[in-house]
Amino acid sequence: MSMDDDKNSGAAGAEAFVTIARVIRTQGRKGEVSAILLTDFPERFDSRRQLFLLDMKGARRGMDLEGHWFHKGHVVLKFAGIDSISDGETLKGSEVQVPFSERAPLAEGEVYVSDLVGCIVYDGPREIGRIRDVQFGSGEAPLLVIINTQAGDKEYLVPFATVYTERIDVEHKRVELKLPAGMLELDAPLNEEERKRQQNSED
């Protein structure tokens, strides 16, 4: 399996993009920014000269990459025209993207995490729900955000780890897991109905 890339975007018939990093803070006094890596292929930054930034309002713009280096598990990026701390602040929260056509090729048996969104997840014969999103940064493994609409949109957060993965069929939108007993019941957050019942019982 592969983290490159975390999500894709773009309307049908238009150029689609995939996210390879997310800017979290400024780094240095000359506009450098630190970003969480969302790719298993960080070495490809060496050959990238232009990247696209998707800001938190949904606006995307092309940016020339002047340099990069790796620091404490993150990548530090220096973009042309971003030359001060205040300039760097404007990039916080932006997704660092490349065109879909520039995704790194995968070895046999690997899968892009972005392709998991929309897949139905099974724990053995039990259907858990559909993957709505993939979250990064909270642990060693990404977390699958799984929504079960038949249970009042109950949300499950499940580590996307090899030890739990039985089979992935992206073409047919199916992910088969083998989870430890009780994991879903322990980790599942309350849905809206359950929160109301809990609040009423406390009042």
Annotated domain spans of the chain: 8-102, 117-202
Domain 8-102 has CATH 2.40.30.60: yes
Q: How far is CA 152 from CA 99, 102, 147, 168, 192, in A?
A: 36, 39, 9, 26, 8
Q: Token digits for 166?
A: 């039985």
Say yes or no: do domains 8-102 and 117-202 share a fold. Answer: no
pLDDT at 186: 56
pLDDT at 171: 86
pLDDT at 188: 47
pLDDT at 161: 86
Beta bridge partners of 76: 34, 69
The fold of 117-202 is SH3 type barrels. (2.30.30)
pLDDT at 81: 97
Cα torsion angle, 41, 43, 48, 52, sign: positive
Q: In the chain, what are the helix, strand and coil shares in percent, each to the nearest 5?
A: 20, 40, 40
- Within the chain, which residues score under 50 in pLDDT? 5-13, 187-191, 194, 198
pLDDT at 15: 65
Global pTM?
Answer: 0.61
pLDDT at 194: 46
